[in-house]
Chain A
Amino acid sequence: MNYAYYPGCSLESTSPDFNESTKAIVDFLGLGIGELPDWVCCGASSLHPSDKLMSLALPSLTLESANKEQKDIMVQCPACYAHLREAQEALSHEGHEKDDLVQVIGRDVPAKMKIKHLSEILLNEVGIPALQEKMVKKLEGIKIASYYGCVIVRPKKLMKYDDPENPMVMDQLVSATGAQSIDWPFKTKCCGAGYSISKTEVTLDLTYEILSQAKKNGAEAISVLCPLCHINLDLRQKAIEQRYGEKFNLPIFYYTQLLGLSFGLDPKKLALDRLFVNPFPLLKSKGI
């Protein structure tokens, strides 16, 4: 394993809880994954429709930083993941697009490194048995809906993550902790993503459906792997409840926080106190 960690702008600025719980479990497992120096913004989904060339050139700079360190890249934000992959694709195929890209960057960037999401590394490279060996607490009795959102599974050809209709990567990690991962139909339904800022009411409509489907299928909490999904489901949950006059009270965990709990790590270190929907009453009721 020879990864460097690319946190991306969201984890660095508005999702420190995801960043800290990620670092906490990576350190605990002794994976030896440090932060990639000199990384830059991936361009996010905002650049793509208006400036396709720059949306490929920006992540290329980060690929170049990984080359310099001779490292593969570990990511947590699905949007960063997608943009790094897109740049890698563009740099790997000779043609007009690559010529333009090289002209914009000012040089060619070899892009042969592996780019993986931490959930894939944990499942496929560390493996469930090795993870379970380190688990000291069983999260038994909690029913959890794993929610993946759009970007990590689609487009399938680019992401190569899991089945875009019924992914199971996070479900397997959640089940490994002893929690019950529920089967439900909204795993990859869109949360409204960037509309969180520009059309907040659309996000509230879409997340309402996700929360109510989770609840109807018996979930007591939701596990996520995307910082924007987290903001839309956690930070905006109160607004959703007000808009629809319905109480959910569903804690939204990052999967790294659930794993960290089962490793017996300090809830503060996992930034559980930073969640907007207080998870402690649920954890206490399950004796965790």
Chain B
Amino acid sequence: MQINLSKDVDLLQFGKVLKQESETDVRKCYQCGKCTAGCPLNYLMDISPSQVIRFCQLGIKEKVLNSKTIWFCIFCDTCSTRCPQEVDIKGVMDGLRRMATREGVQPKAQVRNLEKAFALMIKMFGRVYEPGVVAGYNFMSGNLFHDVILFPLLLIKRKINLKPHFKKAGEIRGMFKRAEKVRKERASEKGKEVVAHE
């Protein structure tokens, strides 16, 4: 890949925001590649975890925010656990996802729908109603029959409880609202763009 240093590199600003988001210092990485070697999802990524860290060191923001890698990371934490320099690679992936969301980058994997289905259940019931998560996910992703074949099996085996439980749902909805407010306040303090949440 060709890099135009004066045009593509946004080292200072990007480095600052990344450090704040991920609470780790990517400059400590010496590119041993241990994170990449142990990553179970490396085979699906377009750039490897150690390359993500290298691009972050160089401040090449576009490359990492537009990568598939940050969306395929499953947060198993194998990389951060094994890093000899104690760089929290998982934390970097997590931070990059939040930055990408803020900047309106389209996710390269369908992760948001599942997150939204979960949050919806929590707001409705206070406890997660798992059949509802799958139904909500299928609806949002337009794949209505995903895993539907498993449903009768789960019923036969009595592996699924069909009754939702309500606990503190009203209080929790209030908390979601206050969290949104706090986030907006913090964002305006930092002069950052506000994260859009459903």
Interface residues, chain A, with chain B CB atoms under 8 Å away:
9-10, 12-17, 38-41, 43-51, 53-54, 57-58, 61, 100, 103-106, 150, 154-156, 164, 188-190, 192-195, 197-200, 202, 205-206, 235, 273-276
Contact = CB atoms under 8 A, between A and B. Distances in A.
B76 A49 contact: no
Interface of B: 40-41, 43-44, 74-78, 80-81, 94, 97-98, 101, 109-115, 117-119, 121-122, 126-131, 133-134, 137, 141, 146-147, 150, 153-154, 157-161, 165, 167-168, 171-172, 174-176, 178-179, 182-183, 186, 197
Contact of B40 (A53, A105, A190): A190
A205 B40 CA distance: 10
Given A38-B167, A274-B157, A274-B158, 18 more contacts: A16-B158, A41-B126, A44-B118, A46-B115, A50-B101, A53-B182, A54-B179, A57-B179, A58-B122, A58-B172, A106-B174, A106-B175, A150-B77, A150-B78, A190-B76, A192-B74, A197-B146, A198-B113
Contact of A198 (B78, B110, B130, B161): B110
A13 B176 contact: no
Nearest to B160: A14
Contacts of A276: 153, 157
Contacts of A156: 81
Contact of B77 (A53, A154, A195): A154
B189 to A, nearest CB: 10
A103 B128 CA distance: 24
A150 B183 CA distance: 30
Contacts of B110: 198-199
Given A49-B97, A104-B175, A193-B74, A13 B161 contact: yes
Nearest to A39: B167
B77 A104 contact: no
Contacts of B197: 50-51
Contacts of A274: 157-159
B186 A57 contact: no
Given A199-B110, A276-B157, A194 B74 contact: yes
A219 to B, nearest CB: 20
A14 B111 contact: no
Nearest to A14: B130
Nearest to B198: A50
A262 to B, nearest CB: 24
Contacts of A53: 179, 182-183
Nearest to A273: B157
B139 to A, nearest CB: 13
A13 B164 CA distance: 8
Contacts of B134: 197
A85 B133 CA distance: 24
A288 to B, nearest CB: 21
A29 to B, nearest CB: 25
Contacts of A194: 74, 114
3 tightest A-B CB contacts, nearest first? A46-B118, A9-B128, A154-B77
A43 B122 CA distance: 8
Contacts of B75: 45, 48-49
Contacts of A155: 77, 80-81
A14 B151 CA distance: 11
A273 B77 CA distance: 34
16 contacts: A15-B159, A40-B126, A41-B121, A49-B98, A50-B115, A50-B119, A53-B183, A54-B175, A189-B40, A190-B76, A197-B134, A197-B137, A197-B147, A198-B113, A198-B141, A199-B110
A48 to B, nearest CB: 8
